[in-house]
């Protein structure tokens, strides 16, 4: 599968390619170009040239292009879902759900774009300004680079590409080298739908080459990145050399607090959604399970029973509830982290073993609050480490001890207590009586501390992807 550059399919300048494999079978799904820095520069130049033309298209007409894109997505929905499942290892049912989110997101961003009204500062608001009218307008930032990770590529394509294009920007998509195929297909569908040639491009290849080249290009106006904290910091440092704006959604080690009066059946059920969906490869998945000591035994028994019932199998099997990790390398990393947690005092009571790219759903009990996983060790897989506490203050202190602050959740039958705990958690979103794995397209989503900067969602992304201009009609009145 080729890249899309300047409105045309493109190989890498030197002809190099990368194989994309099915992590469940090891079979090659397809290959993509391994882009060079020169390819990135060409895409940026094309985007810079095309952006004014695309920005001149009225917003209602841009929205109409998005509607045509959605018609093409609907036409190819099953093929896209199967491709996403094959290259990512997620169950076909989850892949279909992710493709099904595309129209929800694009329609929401289209409606918001139609209501990005400017504002007026009337005369006389400020002394000495009685005769002046000030018009505050929004304009596109220009060229946007969207760096997208492997775990929810289509959902994050929706969050970044839809508002960027609707705001009148040109967009260059950099997908993960683990699974770039579905996003490449989506970029070509946008081109087919009528986006100005060059205003949508997709560049494939390693992050070390492609990500660095795009971040280091002075003609890029905004980098929106979802990924690891390490990659986010490195990207921000590179972008700082050109004062390029960055929006970062990074790592998380979300705390799942179960208070003494919690509905334990509900909390145990939410663990499955919180930790097992997409094999636990979710930025805002609950990753530290802080449970009051008085209910820890009962909660653990419920969780073990529910986790043990999960059907792990081939991603293309309709009955599979969990597939494999995105790669064997990812599964090995989880295996090492579980062993590290065991060495620090935890007891593996369920799972804990790996077979190729598959990792068993795992429950670890007796994890001390001093263990790395209780603070900053983010296990990106289906692992439930249980840490007990005796007081609410202790639970909040453990939750806030992490360098991360993406999301969190708290379970309690007392709403006032739950709200007080939520207000004390140092993170960007908190769910009461539900898992931290909650992200609607409408909500502003982002983290505190090392979990990122800025937010994205229908309610906030356009603020990141537009610039403010004030036009003053001096002495007009």
> For the chain, where do the domains classified as CATH 3.40.309.10 start and end?
254-440
Q: Does the domain spanning 254-440 belong to CATH 3.40.309.10? A: yes
> For the chain, where do the domains classified as CATH 3.40.605.10 start and end?
3-250+451-472
pTM of model > 0.85: yes
364 has which bridge partners? Answer: 348, 385
Residue 379 near residue 325 (C-beta atoms within 8 A): no
Residue 123 near residue 477 (C-beta atoms within 8 A): yes
Q: So what's the pLDDT on residue 20? A: 98
CA distance 172 to 209: 15
Superfamily holding 3-250+451-472 = Aldehyde Dehydrogenase; Chain A, domain 1 (3.40.605.10)
- How confident is the prediction along the chain (477 residues), in pLDDT tens digits per residue? 999 999 999 999 999 999 999 999 999 999 999 999 999 999 999 999 999 999 999 999 999 999 999 999 999 999 999 999 999 999 999 999 999 999 999 999 999 999 999 999 999 999 999 999 999 999 999 999 999 999 999 999 999 999 999 999 999 999 999 999 999 999 999 999 999 999 999 999 999 999 999 999 999 999 999 999 999 999 999 999 999 999 999 999 999 999 999 999 999 999 999 999 999 999 999 999 999 999 999 999 999 999 999 999 999 999 999 999 999 999 999 999 999 999 999 999 999 999 999 999 999 999 999 999 999 999 999 999 999 999 999 999 999 999 999 999 999 999 999 999 999 999 999 999 999 999 999 999 999 999 999 999 999 999 999 999 999 999 999
Residue 32 near residue 18 (C-beta atoms within 8 A): yes
409: enclosing H helix or E strand: strand 407-411
Identify the CA nearest to 435 among candidates 452, 411, 461, 471.
411
Three-state secondary-structure class, residue 49: helix
Q: So what's the pLDDT on residue 141? A: 98
CA distance 303 to 351: 13
- Cα 2 vs. chain centroid, distance in angstroms? 24
Which DSSP string do the residues of 295-341 spell out, in sequence order?
A: THHHHHHHHHHHHHT--B--TT-TT-SB---S-HHHHHHHHHHHHHH
CA distance 137 to 135: 6
Name the strands in the sheet holding 383-389, side by side, starting at the edge strand that comes first in the sequence.
347-350, 362-365, 383-389, 286-292, 254-258, 407-411, 429-432
Strands 347-350 and 354-355: unpaired
Residue 43 near residue 34 (C-beta atoms within 8 A): no
265: enclosing H helix or E strand: helix 264-271
CA distance 255 to 431: 11
Residue 274 near residue 435 (C-beta atoms within 8 A): yes
- Cα 6 vs. chain centroid, distance in angstroms? 26
- C-alpha distance from residue 185 to each of 3, 69, 189, 423, 465 (Å): 9, 11, 6, 42, 24
Degrees to nearest 5, angle at CA 377 with 372 and 379: 130
Residue 263 near residue 256 (C-beta atoms within 8 A): no
Phi, psi of 465 (to 5 degrees): -105, 10
Rounded to 10 deg, the angle between the 153-166 and 181-193 helix axes is 30
Q: Which residue has the tokens 């005092």?
A: 345
Is the CA virtual torsion 67, 69, 72, 73 positive or negative?
A: negative
Active site residues: 249, 283
Identify the CA nearest to 436 among candidates 399, 387, 388.
399
Which DSSP string do the residues of 104-171 spell out, in sequence order?
A: HHHHHHHHHHTT---EEE-TTSSTT-TT-EEEEEEEE-SEEEEE--SSSHHHHHHHHHHHHHHTT-EE
CA distance 359 to 362: 8
Give the total residue count for the chain: 477
Q: So what's the pLDDT on residue 284? A: 93
Q: So what's the pLDDT on residue 28? A: 97
């Amino acid at each position: 599968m080729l890249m899309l550059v300047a409105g045309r399919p493109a190989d890498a300048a030197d002809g190099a390619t990368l194989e994309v494999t099915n992590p469940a079978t090891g079979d090659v799904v397809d290959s993509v170009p391994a882009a060079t820095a020169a390819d990135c520069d060409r895409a940026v130049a094309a985007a810079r040239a095309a952006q004014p033309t695309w920005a001149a298209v009225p917003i209602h007409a841009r929205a109409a292009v998005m509607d045509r894109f959605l018609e093409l997505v609907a036409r190819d929905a099953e093929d896209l879902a199967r491709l996403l499942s094959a290259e990512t290892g997620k169950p076909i049912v989850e892949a279909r759900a992710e493709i099904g989110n595309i129209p929800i997101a694009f329609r929401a961003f289209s409606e918001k774009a139609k209501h990005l009204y400017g504002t007026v500062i009337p005369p006389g608001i400020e002394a000495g300004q009685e005769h002046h009218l000030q018009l505050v307008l929004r304009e596109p930032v220009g060229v946007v680079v969207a760096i997208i990770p492997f775990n929810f590529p289509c959902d994050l394509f929706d969050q970044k590409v839809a508002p960027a294009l609707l705001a009148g920007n040109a967009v260059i998509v950099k997908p993960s080298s683990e699974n770039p195929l579905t996003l490449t297909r989506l970029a070509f569908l946008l081109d087919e739908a009528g986006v100005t040639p060059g205003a949508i491009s997709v560049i494939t290849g390693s992050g070390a080459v492609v990500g660095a080249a795009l971040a280091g290009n002075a003609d890029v106006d905004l980098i929106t990145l979802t990924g690891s904290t390490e990659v986010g910091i490195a990207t921000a440092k590179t972008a700082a050399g050109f004062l390029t704006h960055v929006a970062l959604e990074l790592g998380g080690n979300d705390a799942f607090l179960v208070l003494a009066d919690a509905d334990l059946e509900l909390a145990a059920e939410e663990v499955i959604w919180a930790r097992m969906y997409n094999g636990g490869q979710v930025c805002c998945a609950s990753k530290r399970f802080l449970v009051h000591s008085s209910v820890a035994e009962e909660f653990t028994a419920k969780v073990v029973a529910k986790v043990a019932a999960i059907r792990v199998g081939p991603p293309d099997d309709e009955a599979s509830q969990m597939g494999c990790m995105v790669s064997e390398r990812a599964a090995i990393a989880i295996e090492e982290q579980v062993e590290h947690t065991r060495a620090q005092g935890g007891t593996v009571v369920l799972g804990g073993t790996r077979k190729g790219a598959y990792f068993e759903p795992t429950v670890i009990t007796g994890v001390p609050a001093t263990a790395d996983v209780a603070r900053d060790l983010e296990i990106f897989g289906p692992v439930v480490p249980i840490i007990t506490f005796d007081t609410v203050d202790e639970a909040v202190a453990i939750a806030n001890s992490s360098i991360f602050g993406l999301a969190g959740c708290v379970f309690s039958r007392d709403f006032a207590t739950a709200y007080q705990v939520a207000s004390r958690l140092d993170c960007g979103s908190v769910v009461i009586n539900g898992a931290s794995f909650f992200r609607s397209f409408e909500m502003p989503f982002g983290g505190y501390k090392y979990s990122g900067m800025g937010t994205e969602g229908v309610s906030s992304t356009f603020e990141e992807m537009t610039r403010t201009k004030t036009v003053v009609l001096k002495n007009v009145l």
